[in-house]
Structure 1
Amino acid sequence: MKKDIFHYALSAFVVGGMALSFASCSDNDLAANQGGSNDALVRFSVNDVQSEAIARGAAMTRGAITPGLGNNDLAGQKLAAHSNRNLNVCFIETAVEGVNPVKADAHTRAEIETTISGDFSSTGIRGVAATSILTTPEWFKAAKTKSNGELYTPIRWSIFQPWARFYAVYPSKDSYSKLTINDMTSADNAPSVDFTVEPNVRDQKDFMTACTGNVNYAKQFEQPTTSLDFRHALTAIRFAVGQNLSWSKVIDKVEIRNAIMKSKYKLSSEFSGTGAAWDNTGATRGTATLSGLSVSTSQNPNATIMGNTGDNFTFYMIPQELTGNGVVAYVHFTDNTEITATLKGEWKAGTTRTLKLSETNSNWSYVLTPTDPSRAAKYDETTSQPYGITSYRTAPDGTTQAVAWKVVGYDANGDGTFSMAEKPAWLTSLSKTEGDGGTAADQGTATLKKADLIDFFKQRNDGLKHATVLGSSSAPYDLSLHDHNGNTTLRNTANSYLISAPGHYRIPLVYGNAIENGVTNDKSYISHAPTGNSKVLYNFKDHAGHNIDNPWIEKTNGGANASVDGAEVVWADAANLVSSLSIAHDGGDTFLDFEVKESDIQSGNAVVAVKKGSTIVWSWHLWFAPKDALDKIPVTNHQGVVYNFTKETLGWKPTQWTGTTYTSARTVKVKVEQTVANNGTKAYTVINIIQNPGGVKKGATTLYQFGRKDAFPGVASSALATNSHFTENAGDNMSIMNGILNPGKFYTYGSNWSSNYSYYNLWSADNTTTGFNDNFVVKTVYDPCPAGFKMPASNAFTGFTTTGQDGGATNVDGTRDWQTYQSNFGHNFWTNSSKTAAINFPASGYLHYSNGSLNGVGDSGCYWSAVPKYSSDGCYLFFNLSYVKTLNENYRTYGFAARPVSE
C-alpha cells in the first residue's frame, strides 16, 4: 500500500470552510412567527450577574452572585488523600462564590467585560395575556443570538400576542455540540437542556442561562425592556500546589473521576433565576482529564494547575452531590506517583472550588492563588493580557476575609532567586503591584517594551561578502586541509564542504570521507560486517560499478579513472555561486579548483561534479553559510545518549529572516506575598509574564534520498540558477552507478530501488540491523555530511517527545503555538530534560517519492537517520505543528533533510 507523508502532515493545517443552508417556509409560517412589518424587533439587554455584582463591590456579600447560597455551601474542608508512594498528603478544599471571579478596578466598573463574549441561543413563548403564555407551540426555539442581544434572524413582536417570556442558553447550541435544548411541552414552565461535559478539560465550555420573566409589549412599535441576566449553571473546579510540600515532583495530569458528566438542566422561569435546577436522575458518569502538564511542586508554590503557562484551563463540572457517590480527585506525576482523594459535600452552581495539595499537618486557612495572563504577549505588544491574584483567609465556619498582598521580587534568569533589582528592562512596569485581596481576583497588566526586529538575512549575507578573502588563483585554499573555523588540519575529505568567505578554493578528487586525518580511511568503503549477508554492500562502488580500492578517484582500480578532464555546476540555488571550475594536478594528486567571488557569494547551495569526457565520475555539495553553521549542539535523547548535532541543518538557506534578539519566549517570574503571616510564614506565589519572539523566518535545506550522497534542492525548480540540471522525476532507474553518474536526477519509486538499492549499510558501513537503536554509525563514502560529521543513529531524535515515542507530548520551546512555529520556520526542540537550551529544526518539507515534487515547506520537517527500517524504508524524524514522530519510517525514495552529528 502506498505510503504518503500527507497522512501525517495535513491534519494540523486544514482550514475550515463555511457553509450556508436554506429552508423554505410558507407565508402562514411567517405570519405565525413575525409581527407586522412595523412592529418592534425582539432584542435583549444582556447582563452578566457575576460581573455586575463584583463591579458593585458585592463580591463579599453571600448570595449576590449565586442566590440561595448558605454558609455550609462555601465551607472549606480537609480531604484525606492516598498515595502509592506513602506521601504525607491531603487536599485542602476551599470554595468561593462565583466562577473564577475577577475584581474590577474602580475606574473600570462602568465598563465591565461580560463573560457572554459569544453567541447564545434564545427561545421565546408568548400569549395574549400574562396568564396565558403558552409553552407550546414555542414562538421560536434556540434562535442564534449575538452577544449584544440581537437575533441573527430578526423576529418582531405582535400586538395581538403582547405577552412573552424568553429564555437564553450560553454558549449557543451551534457552538457546542454537547448541548441540546429540548422541546417544551404543555406541562413545562421552562425549557430543559441536556448538557454533557467534555472529558478533555481543554475542550470544556462554561454554561450559563437566563430568563426575562414575563415581558409586556404594551405599546405598539416601542420595544419593551427585555433583560437577560445570565447566571452560571456549572461549578468551577481548580487544582493547586501547596506551599509547604516537602517533596519535589512534576505533575503531568489531573483528573476528576466517576463524576456526573451528562445530565439535564431545567431553566428558571423567573428573572431572578430561582427554580433553576439540575435533574441528575439517570445521569451519566465519567472522567474529566487535564493532561500534558508540567507543574513542579517545588517551583510553583500556590500555583493553580490550569494547564501549562498561558493556558488557564478550569474544570467546568455539573453540580452534584459528592458524599457517598465515589467521586475521586486524581493527580499523576511524571515519576508515576499517584494521589487520590474521595470528594465529599456538594458542588453548587455558580461557585469555584480549589483543591490544593498539602501536607496533612498544613494550616489551610490562607489562600493565595495566581492567574497568569491568558497568553504570552507578542513581541510588538506593549501591554500584556491581565494577570490576577486571589488572596483571602477562611475561618473554620467558612467565613472569608480578604488578605492584602504585594509584589516582593522578580526572577528574570530562571535561577529561582528573587529580588526587586532583577526586574528586566523589557518589563517596564506592572499596573498592580499590591492589592487588598478577596475572593475575587485583583487584576493588573504588565507594560512591556516593544522588541526591535533585526534583518538576520541581510546580516548573514553581508557577513559572507565581507569575510576575509581566502586563497588566490595561484595558491587556492584547500578546504580539506582546514576545519570549518579555518584552522589548519591534516587532510579530511567529505561529500560536502562549507564555504564562508569569498576566495579561490580547492577540493581533492577523493571519494567522500575516504581520507581522514591525512590517512586512508578504508573502513568508509570496505565493510567489516560479518560476511554472507545479502543486505550488506561489502565493497562500495564507483561510477562504473567497480569496487573502490583507493581514496583518490584517479588512482582507484589501477588508475582506470585517470585523466579526469572536466568539471561543471550540476545545479545551484543562487546565480554565479561558483565560477572558473578547473582540474588541477599537484604532486601526483588531482584537485577541483574554483572561485567564489565577493560580488556573488550569498547563502545558498551548489552541486559540482568532475567528469572524464562527458561522464560524471563524482560530485560534491558546496554549502555557502557562516562558519558557525557547523558548531555543535549537544542533544540528549530519551535513552540518555548525547548526540552533537550541527547548529544548522545541512544546506540551510534562509530566503527571508527577520527576528528579535531573543529566539525563545522571554519570561520573568513575579513573586507575590501575602502581607499577613500564617503561623510565622507568609504565603507566596508566582505569576509569569511572558513575551514571545517575533519576526519571519523562511528558507530551504538540501534534501536527500536515503543512502545517496547527492544533495537535491529544497527550493522550486523555477528558483534554481540558469543552466542548472535538476530532473525532479527521473523515473524508476535507481542503481549505485546511476546515482553517481547522475547527481542531478531524482529517481522515483519502483522495483529498481528494491533490487539495486536495498542495502542496510549505505550510510553506516558495518550496519546489519534495521529499526531504532543507538548503534555506532561508521560513516561511508556515500554519506552526505561535511568532514567530522555523519548521519545520525536512528534513536537520535527520541528526546523530542516526552515519551521518546511517536506522538508523545512534544518537547518544544514555545513552538506548539502556530505563530511561533511559523516565526521559527519549524520547531525549537529542547536539547535535554533541564529545558535550558533548544535546537531549531526547520520545517523544510520534502520531495515526493513518486514524482520528486516539493511539498510541505513551512509545514512539516522530515530528517533521515543512517539506518533503514526495512529493505524499502529508512528511519526518520517527522514533525508538524502539533505532532512529532521520532520513530517514523518511509520509502527510501523520499527526499528528506539531513541533520549531521559529530563523528
Structure 2
Amino acid sequence: MIRFKEYLERRARRAAFVSVCLAGLTVFGGLFLGSCANEDLGKDNDKDGGDRNAAVAFNVSEAQNDAQEAAAKTMPGAPVTRAAFSEQLGMMNLTPADLTTQKLAAEGAAGADLCLIETTTPGVIPTQQGSNAHDTQTAAATAGTEEATAATRANITTLKYLGHFSSYGYRGTTATSFSTTPNWFYNKDTNPDGTLVDPVYWSWTSHHFGKFYAVSPLVTAGYTKLTVSPETYASTPYVDFEVEPNVTDQKDLMTAFSGVVEYASFGVPPTTNLKFHHALTAVRFAVGQNLSWDKTIDKVEIRGAVSKGRYTMATDADGTDAAWNPDYTSTGTFSLACSVNTKANPNVIIVGKPGDNSTTPGDNYTFYMIPQTLTGKGVKAYVHFTDGTEISVTLTGSWKPGTTKTYKISNTNSNWQYTLNVTPTLGPVPYNQTDAGWYSVQSYRQAPDGTQQAVAWKVVGYQESTDGGTTWSPLSDTKPEWLDELPVKEGNGTTWSESGIATIQTSFIDKLAAYNKVLHDANAKGTASSYYDLSTHDYKGNPTARNTANSYLISAPGYYKIPLVYGNAIKNGHDNPDSYTGPSAPVMYYGTDVNLYHFKDHNDQDITDPWITQTNGGVNAPDDAKIVWTDQSGIVEASSLGIEGSGTNAFVHFRVPQDKIKNGNAVIAVTKGGTVVWSWHLWFAKSEELNTIPMVNYQNKTYSFTQQTLGLVYYRWEVSTCSKTRAVRIKVEQTIPNGSPAVKQSGTITITQTPGRDEKKFGSTLYQWGRKDATPSTDAIADGSYSFDGTPGGRSIGYAIQHPGQMFINAQTNPHYYDWCNATYFNLWSAKNTEVSNWWNDNTVVKTIYDPCPAGLKMPASNAFSGFTTTGQGTYTPSEFNVEGSFDEGWTFRSHSGTNTIFIPASGFRAYSYGLLSAVGSYGYYWSAVPCSSLDYSCYLDFEPNKVNPIHDSTRSHAFAVRPVAE
C-alpha cells in the first residue's frame, strides 16, 4: 500500500511540473501570437488546412420535429383532416396505412381472455415541443453530460439529448462531380451542436461542393455492433447494425444526409443541414385500462425477431430512399426486466425497474428493433409474471422505421379505439431537489380509416402516501402541500405527447441558527470590572481549583480572563512540573536522542516556572495582547484584549459580545515588544460538547472521548422537514368515456420524495503533531490572519510558539525530513514517553504544556481508537468496520464492548506540502499522543467511506484533527 506521505509527495512534484510547463507555455505562446499578428488569417495559407474562417459545421435537426411543428399549427381542438394528417406523416416518410391498429390474441391457458392492443404512432417516443419547460438550446448545451438525470437515464435519443455522432464528408468540384468514397473525411467525431471535435475547413481554391452523411450514436472501434461501410467503399454508405439482447444496452440509431452543399462565398461557411431520421422502430408495452388481473410483471421479451441488418443510407436529403435489408437468418430474444403491477398501473408504459426510494432513479427504456416483416416469421411478445404465469402473443404486420409500436395488455373486450399513455416521472426525488422530472401524457383516438385525432385529458385527483407507498389516502382534488402546481394539468390531447416538469418543495430547518441562539441567549459571564476566570471554572461553569490549558471552551457572551500560565502547568490549583519536564535519561532511537528534557519557551529557553511572567527571572512578562485569527467576525472584541495584574496574578482578558457570539474559533496571543510569547485557542460551542463518552478499545481498555471533535465549527447546518419517504399519485383521465359500460381511460403519475439528512458545511481546528497551535478549518479568516510558511529546514519549538498563526512545511532535512521541527522529539504530547518500538500501546499519556486539549482532557494513546474495527487493525472490509449506520461525512463508531457510540466527523486535513485544506467531509485523520515507526512519523486514526484504520501512521508536518480523552 502506498504510504500517505508518498502520495502527497508525488502530488507536489506533479503540481511543480505543471507550474513549470505553464510558465514555459506562456512564453512560447507570446512569441507565437506575436509572429502571427500581421498574417491574414482569412486566407487559404495552408492548402490542405483550408480556410480558417470557414469551418465545416452542421445545422442539426430531427425530421419528426418538423412534422410535429406542422401539427402544432393546426387550430387547438379542431379535428385534423385526413389530407392534413397525410401531409404531416409525409415529412417522416410515412403514410396513414403505416399506422396500423389491431387486436392480437394471447396464446395459452393463462392468456385465454387476454389480448394485445397494438397501436402505431409516428415518430420515436415523440414529445410535443411546445409544452416543454426547457428550451432546445438549454438541452443541447447539457447534452452528453454524465449527470444521472431523468433524460440521460433513458435510452431515447432526441435532439435535446443528442450525444456525439459520426460524420462523413464527400468533396466535389461541381454539384454533380463527387467522389464515390468519403474522400474529404471519414467517421469524424462531431459535437451535438454540429461542430467537429477536430475542425475541418472548406477550401476556396478547390472543391467548392460537399455532401455529408451522419450516424448517431458515435461509431467507435470498440463497439462492433454498429459499423459503417469502409472508407474505400465506392457507393452509397451503409450501416451494419446488431440489436443488443438486453434493452438497457440498446441504441437508438439515427442517420442523416445533407444533400449537395456549395461553398459559394469566400470565408462564409455554407449552411449545411443534417436532418436526422430515426432508422429503427421503437416498441413499447403497457398495461391496459380494463385488465382485470392483479399481478406483477417482472419481464417482457420479444422473441424470434431479426437481430442484424444492413441499413443503406439515403441519397435524397429527405431520407425517402433509405432502406433496410434485415437478416432473417439472424434472430434473437430481447429482454427488459421490470416490476409493474397490472392493477396499480393502468395505461402506464412499462419502461423497466422503478427507483429504490433513494436517490437512484427508475429506468426509462424502450425496445429499439430493426424494421422488419412480422407476419409468418414467428415473432412473439412474451410477458412473465412474478407468480410464474406467462403469456405469449404472435406478432403480425410489420415494423416501420421512425414509428412507435405500443402493445397494451388488455382483456379481449377492451375498447382499443381510445388511447391514453402516461409516462411516469423517473422517481424517487432527493429531499434537496425541486425538479421531480418530466411527465408526459399521450391521448388520442383512431378512426377505422387510420386517421388519429386528439382526445382532451385532465388531472382529476391526488392521493398521498406518508409511508413510502404502502398505504394511500382517498382520491382528492387537493394536492399535498409539498407538491407544486403542475405546469400542465390538462391538455387537448395529441398523438405525440404533452409534457411538463413536475416540481416539489424543499424545506429546511436551520439548526445552526438554533445552535447559535443557545450561545446568544446564555447568561453572560463576568463584567467589565470583574472578569470571569476560565481556569477556575469547569466547562459547565462550576467553580474549581485552578486548571490551566491551551484551549478553553466558551458557551456564553461576557468578560473573560485567562491566567498567563504555560498550557496545563497548573493542575488542581498546584504547580504541575511534569507537564514541562521530560524523562531524565536519554531516549535513543537510531542513534538520536529523542527526549525533550526541558520544555521550551518562545525563546527556546527552558521553562522554569508555570507562570509566563515568572519563568527565567520574569524576562518573558507580556506587555500586550492581540488576535491571531478568528473564523467568525468580531467573536472576540479586539479592543477589549489586554493584560492585567503581574507575577502570579497576571491575566489576559477579553470580551465576547452577545451580538457576535456564535459557533466558531479564535486564537489570541500575548506579546512582549510585539513578539508572541504564548497563545490560546478559544472554542465557542455548547458546553455539552466536552461531555465524555466511555469507549472500550480492542484491548478492552476504556477511553472517555469528548462528545465532539476539538474546535468543530458549523458554517452551515440544515435539516430537511421531509423526515420519511412520501409520495403522491396524480390521476389523469380522458374527458370522453368509451366502451360499454362507458369508462374514461385513466392513468397515474407517481412522484416520490426521499427523506432528508443533515446538510452541513463544517470543519475543525487542525494541528501539526506536537504543536499546541490550532490551524483554522477555513481559508476565509474573519479577523487576524493565518498563513503557510514554505521555508524548508524546519523550525524550532520557540519559533513555532512565536508564530501560532502559521503552519510549517516539512523540514526536508534528515533525519527529521517529514517533521515540521528542526529537531526530533518523542515526548512533545506525552511528557514521559520513552517508547521507541512498541508504537501501538495503552501507555499512560502525561499531558504536556504543548497539548492542545482543554483542562481535564488530553491527547489519546495510540491504541485509543483500536475498537473502531472488529479486528483492531486497519481494513477495507465494511463488515469489519465497528460502526452504526452508513458513512455520513463521518462514522458513528461503536464501543468494542457495551452499547456506547460516538460520531467522529471527517474533518479533513491540511497537507504539509502547501497547507491546503482538503477532504473535509470525506476523510478523517486524528492524531494520537505518540510517535510511530520513524523519526518523523506519528500515530493516528485514519478513516474514509471505504476504509477504517485505527492504527495508522503519517508525517508529523500534516495538520490533523484532535479528539480529546479524559485525563
TM value normalised by structure 1: 0.56
Structure-2 separation of matches of 1:385 and 1:473: 56
Query: For this pair of structures, how many residues does the alignment match?
Result: 779
| CA apart distance, 1:573 | 0.7
Structure-2 separation of matches of 1:541 and 1:200: 70
1:705 and 2:768 matched: yes
Partner of 1:135: 180
Partner of 2:62: 47
Partner of 1:820: none
Letter in 1 for 2:773: D
CA 563–440 in structure 1, closer or farther in 2 if over 3 Å, else same = farther
Contact 1:733–1:747 (CA under 8 A) maintained in structure 2? no
**Aligned with 1:544: secondary structure?**
coil
CA 726–167 in structure 1, closer or farther in 2 if over 3 Å, else same = closer
Mapping for residues 612-627 of structure 1, pairs under 5 Å: 620-623=680-683, 625-627=684-686
Structure-1 separation of matches of 2:921 and 2:181: 55
1:471 and 2:521 matched: no
Structure-2 separation of matches of 1:184 and 1:172: 16
CA 615–841 in structure 1, closer or farther in 2 if over 3 Å, else same = same
CA 740–161 in structure 1, closer or farther in 2 if over 3 Å, else same = closer
| CA apart distance, 1:705 | 1.6
Partner of 1:430: 486
Partner of 2:359: 309
1:854 and 2:918 matched: no
Partner of 1:865: 926
Match for residue 670 of structure 1 among 720, 725, 728 = 728
1:572 and 2:628 matched: yes
1:751 and 2:798 matched: no
CA 699–685 in structure 1, closer or farther in 2 if over 3 Å, else same = closer
Structure-1 separation of matches of 2:680 and 2:184: 78
CA offsets per residue over residues 6-39 of structure 1, 9 Å max, x none? 868999xx99x999999998887699x99xx9xx
1:732 and 2:790 matched: no
CA 887–104 in structure 1, closer or farther in 2 if over 3 Å, else same = farther
Match for residue 581 of structure 1 among 643, 653, 656 = 643
| CA apart distance, 1:47 | 1.6
Structure-1 separation of matches of 2:801 and 2:263: 87
Structure-2 separation of matches of 1:175 and 1:841: 47
Match for residue 784 of structure 1 among 852, 873, 881 = 852
Partner of 2:711: 650
Contact 2:809–2:957 (CA under 8 A) maintained in structure 1? no
Letter in 1 for 2:257: C
CA offsets per residue over residues 68-121 of structure 1, 9 Å max, x none? 99999999999xxxxxxxxxxxxx9x9998766546677999999892245654
1:793 and 2:840 matched: no
CA 431–712 in structure 1, closer or farther in 2 if over 3 Å, else same = closer
1:3 and 2:44 matched: no
Letter in 2 for 1:476: Y
Letter in 2 for 1:898: A
Structure-2 separation of matches of 1:555 and 1:214: 93
> What are the ranges of 5 or more consecutive residues in structure 1 without an aligned counterpart?
79-91, 252-259, 324-338, 356-365, 393-400, 547-551, 677-681, 814-827
| CA apart distance, 1:704 | 0.6
1:116 and 2:180 matched: no
Mapping for residues 527-566 of structure 1, pairs under 5 Å: 543-544=598-599, 566=621
CA offsets per residue over residues 760-816 of structure 1, 9 Å max, x none? 995999999878x9x99989556534468776837769999994899x9x9677xxx
Partner of 1:409: 463
Contact 1:669–1:689 (CA under 8 A) maintained in structure 2? yes
CA offsets per residue over residues 468-515 of structure 1, 9 Å max, x none? 541146643243565656566898765421224231334695855996
Contact 1:378–1:694 (CA under 8 A) maintained in structure 2? no
Contact 1:389–1:441 (CA under 8 A) maintained in structure 2? yes
Contact 2:216–2:254 (CA under 8 A) maintained in structure 1? yes
Letter in 2 for 1:669: A
Structure-1 separation of matches of 2:530 and 2:104: 87
TM value normalised by structure 2: 0.53
Contact 1:732–1:751 (CA under 8 A) maintained in structure 2? no
**Aligned with 2:180: secondary structure?**
coil
| CA apart distance, 1:387 | 2.4
**Aligned with 2:784: secondary structure?**
coil
Structure-2 separation of matches of 1:277 and 1:207: 12
| CA apart distance, 1:855 | 1.3
1:388 and 2:439 matched: yes
Contact 2:778–2:917 (CA under 8 A) maintained in structure 1? no
Partner of 2:237: 190
Mapping for residues 39-78 of structure 1, pairs under 5 Å: 46-49=61-64, 52=67
Structure-2 separation of matches of 1:766 and 1:232: 78
Match for residue 230 of structure 1 among 277, 287, 293 = 277
Mapping for residues 307-346 of structure 1, pairs under 5 Å: 309=359
Contact 1:370–1:388 (CA under 8 A) maintained in structure 2? yes
CA 371–430 in structure 1, closer or farther in 2 if over 3 Å, else same = same
Structure-1 separation of matches of 2:932 and 2:340: 41
Structure-2 separation of matches of 1:854 and 1:846: 9
Match for residue 424 of structure 2 among 349, 370, 385 = 370
Q: Percent identity?
A: 23
Partner of 2:499: 443
**Aligned with 2:424: secondary structure?**
strand
**Aligned with 2:359: secondary structure?**
coil
1:170 and 2:220 matched: no
**Aligned with 1:431: secondary structure?**
coil
User: Mean Cα displacement is larger for which, 446-455 or 227-236?
Assistant: 446-455
Match for residue 210 of structure 1 among 256, 259, 262 = 256
CA 513–304 in structure 1, closer or farther in 2 if over 3 Å, else same = farther
**Aligned with 1:443: secondary structure?**
strand
Contact 1:193–1:265 (CA under 8 A) maintained in structure 2? yes
Contact 1:76–1:95 (CA under 8 A) maintained in structure 2? no
Structure-1 separation of matches of 2:534 and 2:656: 16
Letter in 2 for 1:573: W
Letter in 2 for 1:170: S
Structure-2 separation of matches of 1:344 and 1:765: 82
Structure-1 separation of matches of 2:947 and 2:830: 23
**Aligned with 1:573: secondary structure?**
strand
User: Mean Cα displacement is larger for which, 302-311 or 627-636?
Assistant: 627-636
| CA apart distance, 1:168 | 1.6
| CA apart distance, 1:606 | 4.3
Mapping for residues 86-165 of structure 1, pairs under 5 Å: 102=127, 115-117=158-160, 120-125=165-170, 134-138=179-183, 141-142=186-187
CA RMSD of aligned residues (A): 8.6
